[in-house]
Structure 1
Amino acid sequence: MNYTIDRVSNTEYHQIIDVWERSVRATHHFLTEDDIAHYKPLILHTYLDAVELRCVRNAEGNIIGFLGVAADNVEMLFIDPAYSRQGIGRQLLLYAIQQLKVTKVDVNEQNEQAAGFYRHCGFEVIGRSALDPSGKPYPILHLQLAMAK
């Protein structure tokens, strides 16, 4: 299915954070409740303002997936689990590559589904960090688009 990619206003951050939390709970099984409680306000009050946001909406106009980009890096890509495996993530990523000139992404190593998705979309691992940017023990894989090397 082909979805329209739209901009996000800061008045819609509550929808974004709801999608983020549903997606994280469905895919980031390694995170604890304390971790989710730690990251949620950071994303809502700091990270969303630091990225260029794009989203996909359902027929009712509700956000069902979103992408955040800074410079040439995908900083966040989350899909509501009720809409997973419908091509939304791929469409957002292709948009980011073609329109926003993205060539890099960091992904939690323990989120094997996401790491596999990015590899399938042409990204290759170019590095690894033992800690996430918050200093938590969740290894991060650094990936780069193969054709961007």
Structure 2
Amino acid sequence: MQWKKPSSEDYTALIQLWEKSVLATHDFLKSKDREEMKAEIPTYFPQLDMKSWYHDDTLIGFSGVNERNLEMLFLDPDQIGKGFGSIIIKDLIEKDGIQFVDVNKDNTSATAFYLKHRFQVIGESEQDGQGRDYALLHLGLDGVTE
């Protein structure tokens, strides 16, 4: 498993993977909101420490980190359950120092994934970061709050 920093030419592939992942895992999203998010997501890429994750030459997923916050982690749904997510999250914890992540409360599989990897719920919001009515769980690694 290796990663590379995506360039702006890679953004289309990342958005395609994001949409495939969200369609498979975020069935609680309204399609209007999903389309708005699809347009917003690439605007965040330049502000984050982005990594495209590969197994052999296959794009498995991507992550975006801002300081100690994991802002996004999306896997190709065809690759979920193969251990790649665990490899990625452990790498991000050990090498990038992530300690916090927000997860949609309705995304129970993602919540279970983070809880399995030493994160604990430290707070909750009724809306996402863009003010949409999708509750978020705020998670801290080993329950860290600051």
Instruction: Bin the TM-score by the shorter chain.
Output: over 0.9
- Equivalent-residue separation in structure 2 for 1:140 and 1:29 (angstroms): 15
- Equivalent residue for 1:34, pick from 29, 32, 35: 32
2:79 corresponds to 1:83: yes
Partner of 2:127: 131
- Give 3-state SS (helix, strand or coil) of 1:63's partner: strand
- Equivalent-residue separation in structure 1 for 2:19 and 2:135 (angstroms): 20
2:2 corresponds to 1:4: yes
**1:136 counterpart letter in structure 2:** R
2:49 corresponds to 1:69: no
Partner of 1:50: 47
Are the counterparts in 1 of residues 69 and 98 from structure 2 also a CA contact under 8 Å? yes
The TM-score normalised by the length of structure 2 is 0.93
Partner of 1:111: 107
Are the counterparts in 1 of residues 121 and 143 from structure 2 also a CA contact under 8 Å? no
The TM-score normalised by the length of structure 1 is 0.92
Shift of 1:147: 6.7
Are the counterparts in 1 of residues 49 and 66 from structure 2 also a CA contact under 8 Å? yes
* Residues 54-113 of structure 1, C-alpha deviations (whole Å, 9 max, x = no match): 122243x34221111001000000000111111111111111111111000000000000
The structure-2 alpha-carbon separation of the partners of 1:5 and 1:147, relative to structure 1 and needing over 3 Å to count, comes to farther
Partner of 1:16: 14
Q: Which runs of 5+ in 1 are unaligned?
A: none
* Residues 30-54 of structure 1, C-alpha deviations (whole Å, 9 max, x = no match): 012111111011002x111121111
- Give 3-state SS (helix, strand or coil) of 1:31's partner: coil
- Equivalent-residue separation in structure 1 for 2:58 and 2:36 (angstroms): 26
